[in-house]
Amino acid sequence: MNTDNQYNPIELSKEYLKKSTLDNQVSIEQGFNVELYEVSNNLAFIKNFGNIAVFKNDTTGLLIDTGMGVSSLQVVEKLKEWGISNIEYVIYTHGHVDHVTGTEYISDAFEGTTKVIAHENVTKRFDRYKKTIGYNGIINQRQFGLPSPVFPNDFTYPDITYSDEYELEFNESILTLTHGKGETDDATYIYSNKDNALFTGDFFIWSLPNAGNPSKAQRYVGFWGEVLKKMSKYNPEYLFPGHGPLIKGKKTIKEMLLDTSNCLLWIEENVLNLMNKGYSLREIHSELDLPEEYYKPYLVSAYDDFSFLINSVWRQYGGWYSGTPSELKPPKLEDIGRTYIDMAGNDDNLLKFLESLVNSQKYKEASVIVDAAYSVNSELFSDIKKEIYLKLAGQETSLMAKGIYKFNHDS
Ligand SMILES: [Zn+2]
């Protein structure tokens, strides 16, 4: 099996599990290096930015996700090499662009027609995306450090949608599609009984769940935890994650699913507990640290950030008011800037004060002041602003925090 290439995602996942920390698994470079790993004669894992799984029945294929359009040419080559001549079905795990934008190119490259199956909210997501192309382009530019805003303006909509559960028979395997809310409200996870394999989509991505993204629509920390618990009951032998390498072994998989579930449920429970006691958002941030039992290689704040998940729970249950009155209707940034300059005496004194904060590594404090000062005198405060944010980026582990701090300061 799989003698023609060296790529072995199962071995890779074993290596990852031995590490105490893990680099971000969601690097954009993954999209440029597609690999196919044969799990059995009828099932393969395709590594991509946004992984793909493929079932084969003679020469007919069924895909779970289609990855990014940018890597579709390579995906088609791998599928043809593996003996696929037509794609009967595509199942979307959710509607994010890194999982669905390969559909058109891939289905056009094969004979016959392809039916796309997805949760009914995928359709609503694509409609929503059309209203926010500019905004989403900027988010992607910031999050992934791209040279310019990038977001597609067209999507391959599903032909078949479902609401709670959907069953499909393919090559004597029953595929059970179940809806769950987590990263999105349109997510599907799939279980194949014949292969005892679970296809999680982004419910599992080899890092702390992406449940707190600062720039995206509401995500669901607690529901996500519940979904992972439900998934673990299948006791699967294989776990095909949305990102990062394929995992094999019932015991390992159960442990990973339940650790992640418990971590998410811990976060939601503790944030709600403090909200119910009247804590402000800032007070909750100072109060909560992730317990050591969740220091696992697959729960590192590599993509999303623990602190952002706190905000996500707060927003889901409590709205956007932070509980700190000055943040309800804040003054113009320029007015705050002028106040800081007045306090310091003049612009140059404030600059000296900011330099002293930088020297004592008080970058967060400095960032509050420099945002305001820069809006009054962008020329004078430009260099120090850049320095402060690049220092902050250097201290962060998550791709999202780094992306935001580096944005416009990366040259
Ligand atoms: Zn994804």
Report residue 5's pLDDT band, with 50, 70 and 90 as the boundaries: low
Residue with the bigger pLDDT between 292 and 148: it is: 292
Residue with the bigger pLDDT between 21 and 365: it is: 365
Interval 220-242 mean pLDDT: 98
Residue with the bigger pLDDT between 49 and 309: it is: 309
* Residue 147 neighbours by CB distance under 10 Å: 6
CA of 380 to the centre of ligand 1 (A): 41
Q: What is the pLDDT of residue 171?
A: 92
- 146 located within any domain: yes
Q: What is the pLDDT of residues 151-202, one digit of tens each?
A: 888 899 999 999 999 999 999 999 999 999 999 999 999 999 999 999 999 9
**Token reading at 71:** 């890597």
Q: Are residues 384 and 242 in the same domain?
A: no
- What CATH number is attached to the domain comprising 122? 3.60.15.10
Task: Choose the final residue of a domain: 214, 236, 264.
Answer: 264
Q: Are residues 260 and 337 in the same domain?
A: no
Q: What is the pLDDT of residues 30-55, one digit of tens each?
A: 557 899 999 999 999 999 989 999 99
Q: Are residues 239 and 158 in the same domain?
A: yes
CA of 201 to the centre of ligand 1 (A): 7
Of 3-7, 147-151, 352-356, the poorest mean pLDDT is in: 3-7
Closest CA to 357 of 330, 326, 392, 409: 392
Q: Are residues 92 and 210 in the same domain?
A: yes
Q: Are residues 223 and 369 in the same domain?
A: no
Task: Please give the angle made by the CA atoms of 334, 338 and 341, to the nearest 5 degrees.
Answer: 135
CA of 383 to the centre of ligand 1 (A): 35
CA of 397 to the centre of ligand 1 (A): 19
Q: What is the pLDDT of residue 373?
A: 98
Q: Are residues 257 and 369 in the same domain?
A: no
Task: Choose the final residue of a domain: 217, 243, 264.
Answer: 264
Report residue 148's pLDDT band, with 50, 70 and 90 as the boundaries: confident
Cα-Cα-Cα-Cα dihedral sign, residues 178, 399, 304, 404: negative
Task: Tell me if 281 sits within 8 A of 322, measured CB to CB.
Answer: yes
Q: What is the pLDDT of residue 180?
A: 97
Q: Are residues 206 and 73 in the same domain?
A: yes
Q: Are residues 33 and 157 in the same domain?
A: yes
CA of 324 to the centre of ligand 1 (A): 34
pLDDT at 310 over 60: yes
Residue with the bigger pLDDT between 152 and 305: it is: 305
* Residue ranges in 145-217 assigned as alpha helix (H): none
Report residue 143's pLDDT band, with 50, 70 and 90 as the boundaries: confident
Q: What is the pLDDT of residue 141?
A: 85
CA of 52 to the centre of ligand 1 (A): 11
pLDDT at 245 over 70: yes
The H or E element that residue 255 is part of is helix 250-276
- 150 located within any domain: yes
Report residue 25's pLDDT band, with 50, 70 and 90 as the boundaries: low
Distances (CA, A) of 47 to 1, 37, 62, 242: 17, 8, 16, 10
Q: What is the pLDDT of residues 105-122, one digit of tens each?
A: 999 999 999 999 999 999
Q: What is the pLDDT of residues 53-82, one digit of tens each?
A: 999 999 999 999 999 988 999 999 999 999
- 271 located within any domain: no
Residues around ligand 1, an ion, CB closer than 5 A? 98, 202, 242
DSSP string, 287-305: H----GGG--TTS-TTSS-
- What CATH number is attached to the domain comprising 397? 1.25.40.880
Its domain, for residue 64, covers 9-264
Q: What is the pLDDT of residue 24?
A: 56
Task: Choose the final residue of a domain: 231, 264, 297.
Answer: 264
Q: Are residues 234 and 340 in the same domain?
A: no
Average pLDDT across the chain, whole number = 93
- 54 located within any domain: yes
- 108 located within any domain: yes
Q: What is the pLDDT of residue 411?
A: 46
pLDDT at 18 over 80: yes
Q: What is the pLDDT of residue 23?
A: 64
CA of 3 to the centre of ligand 1 (A): 29
- 319 located within any domain: no
Q: Are residues 242 and 101 in the same domain?
A: yes
Q: Are residues 255 and 384 in the same domain?
A: no
Closest CA to 60 of 117, 112, 4: 112
CA of 15 to the centre of ligand 1 (A): 22
- 196 located within any domain: yes
- 290 located within any domain: no
CA of 173 to the centre of ligand 1 (A): 26
What domain count does the chain have? Answer: 2
Q: Are residues 198 and 339 in the same domain?
A: no
CA of 51 to the centre of ligand 1 (A): 8
Q: What is the pLDDT of residues 336-386, one digit of tens each?
A: 999 999 999 999 999 999 999 999 999 999 999 999 999 999 999 999 999
Q: What is the pLDDT of residue 2?
A: 47
CA of 205 to the centre of ligand 1 (A): 8
Report residue 147's pLDDT band, with 50, 70 and 90 as the boundaries: confident
Task: Tell me if 155 sits within 8 A of 95, measured CB to CB.
Answer: yes
pLDDT at 238 over 70: yes
